[in-house]
Structure 1
Amino acid sequence: MQITVRAAALSVVSNTTLVVAKLAAGLAMGSVSVMSEAVHSGLDLAAALIALFSVRRSSQPPDEEHRYGHGKIENLSALVEALLIFVAVGWIVAEALRELLGGAEVASLGVGFVVMAASGLVNYAVSEHLFRVGRRADSLALQADALHLRTDVYTSASVALGLVVIHFTGASVLDPIIALGVAALILKAAWDLILKSLGPLLDVRLPVQEEKVLREIVESFRDEYVEFHKLRTRKAGPERHIDLHLVVHPDRSLADAHDLADRIEQAVEERWDRTSLLIHMEPCQARDCAGCGNPCRTPPGDRRAGIPERERRGPDREAAGGPN
C-alpha cells in the first residue's frame, strides 16, 4: 500500500474516533463549543475519506479517457473539502448565536476538557504525519487534510482553555463566544485551501522558484542547442506538466536531437517525480546566429527556414561540385 494511502487511512481512523468522543461529550455537557468541534471533526472525517479516495485515484496511470493522468482529482477534492468547511462554519455560527441569545448553561466541564485536550494531542500527531507525507509526495489532498486537523488542534486548545475559564469564573457566555472564535479560525483555513486548490484547476503556472530551477536544468545543456522558448508549465495534483520549444543546429540529426531531448527530460524527472516534459524541436534560422556562438556548417547567408544546406543543394549543385 502506498504511503499516501496509509496516511489517509490513518486520518480516517483517528477522525472517526474523535467524532464519536466529541459528540458524546458535547451532548452530555450541553456545550455548543464542544459540539461545534464534533461537527468540525465530522467534516475532517469527510475530508479524510475524500483524501483517501483522491490519493488512490490520482496515483493511477493515464488511461484512454484521461490521457494526462488523474492528478487534478486531488485539487478538486481539496476544493470540495474547503466547501465542506464553509458549511460547518455556518452551522457553528448559527448554534453559537442561538446559545448566546438563549443563555444556555454548560455542565460537566471536566469531561469536556479531557476530550478536547486528548483531541488536540491526537490531531497534532496525525496532522504532523500528514504534512510530512503530503510534502514528500507533493499531495495537495493530504496537505489539505493535514490543514483541517491542524486547525482542529488550535480550536480544540481554545475550547479546552475556555472550559477551564468557565469552570473558575462560571461565565457560561464564554462558550458561544469561543465557538464563534473557532468558526473564524476554520473560515480562514477554508479560504487558504480554496486559493491553493484553485490554481492548478485553472492551469496556473508553476511557482517562480520552480520555473527558475527548471530553466537552470535546461540551460545546463546550453552548449548543445541554440536557445529555448515558449516555456509553459502547469500542475495537476502532484503531477507537473511542462512543454517548451528547443532550437537546435540545422546540421544536427534527428537521432541526436532526440537524444538531447531524452537527456533533458531525464534531468528534469530526476529533480521532480511525476513530471511530464514535452520538447518541440526546431531548427535554427539565420536570425538566431547573432547570439549562438556554436559552430555550424550551414552558412548564415545560405540558411532558409533552418533547413540544412545539404537538403537545399539539389542535384544541380551536387553536379557542380558544391561544398560538402
Structure 2
Amino acid sequence: MEPVPPAPGGPPDVVVLTGDVPPSGMAAAERLARVRHVGESGLAEALPDADVLFVWDFLTDALADAWPSRGGPRWVHIASAGVDRLMFPELVRGDTVVTNSRGVFDEPIAEYVLGLVLAFAKDLHTTIRLQGARRWRHRETERITGARALVVGTGPIGRAIGRRLTAAGLEVSGAGRTARDADPDLGTVHPMERLDGALAAADYVVLAAPLTPRTRGMIDAAALDRMRPSARLINIGRGALVAEADLVKALRDGRIAGAALDVFEDEPLPESSPLWDLPNVVVSPHMSGDVVGWRDELVRVFVDNLDRYVSGRPLRNVVDKRLGYVGSDQRG
C-alpha cells in the first residue's frame, strides 16, 4: 500500500467528529497535528479545511450530508471495524483513503460469542429468570463439545471467533467470499453462494460479516427456514445482516431455537420491539467488543496511523472501498 502524501504547509489539520463521549488521551495526536473537535452540527463547516477526519462517533450518519462538493479530506479514519456508514457514493468514488480500527475488537468479541454459546447450551438465561422468580425447576442442558458452529465472515473477528470456539471443543466451519479447505482458523470455508447448505448443518450460526450490498438482509425467512429447529443465531456483525421481522416470526414459530443479538437495524433497539420479550432471545446493547480500556485502544490505533501519515509511511487497515472492508492482503 502506497503512503498517503501529507498535506503541504506544516502539521496536518485533523477534525475529530465526537459523540456523546469524546476521546481522551489525544495529547499524542495534538503533538503531531492541529486537532479540532466538532459535533455533527459543526462538521460541514470544518470538513473543507481538514486534511484528516477521525470519525470517533462511529454511529453517525451525518458525514454524507456534510461531505464537501469539491471532495473531502485526504484520509478518513473510523473508530470501529465496520465502515458501512462511510460508504456513501461521493467518498467511495473519490480519492480519500479510508482506514478502520481493525484488531481492537477481535478477541473481546470472540470471548463474548463463546459466552453466548455457553449460555445457550447451559440454559443460563432461563436459570437467571427462574432465580428472579424464586422458582426451582430442574432441567437438562447440552454439551458444546462436538456441536457445529458456522462463522459467517472470515475477517479478523470471524477468525478469532473460530479459534475460540474450536478451543472450546466445537466443530467450526466458515462462510466467506472465497472457498477453501483446511483453513487454520475456520476449517472448511464455504463460499457465500453455498451458504444455504452450510446453514442447514450448523447448531450455532455466528454472523461476523461486514455490511455490504451483498450481505444486507442475508439472513431472511428463506435462510432461517434452512436452519435447524434446534439452532441458535448469534449476530455480532451488523443489525442489517438480518431481516428482523423474519427473525421474530421464526423465533415465535419455533423454526429456530433462539438468537443472541448485539446489533440491530435500529439502535438503540426501540422499546416496542418484540425482541425484548421473546424468552429465547438475548439482547445486548452493541457491547460485545467493549471491554475495559477499549476507547484508549481506539485512540492508540488512530495515533499510530497519524504518525505514519505525518512521516510518509503506509497506513494500516486501509479499506478497499469497492469491497467495504480491509483487504485480506493487509496485516496488523
Q: What interval of TM-score do these two structures reach, taking the shorter chain for normalisation?
A: under 0.3
The structure whose residues are more often helix, as a share, is 1
Please give the TM-score of this superposition, normalised by the length of structure 2. 0.22
Give the greater-gyration-radius structure (CA).
1
Please give the TM-score of this superposition, normalised by the length of structure 1. 0.22
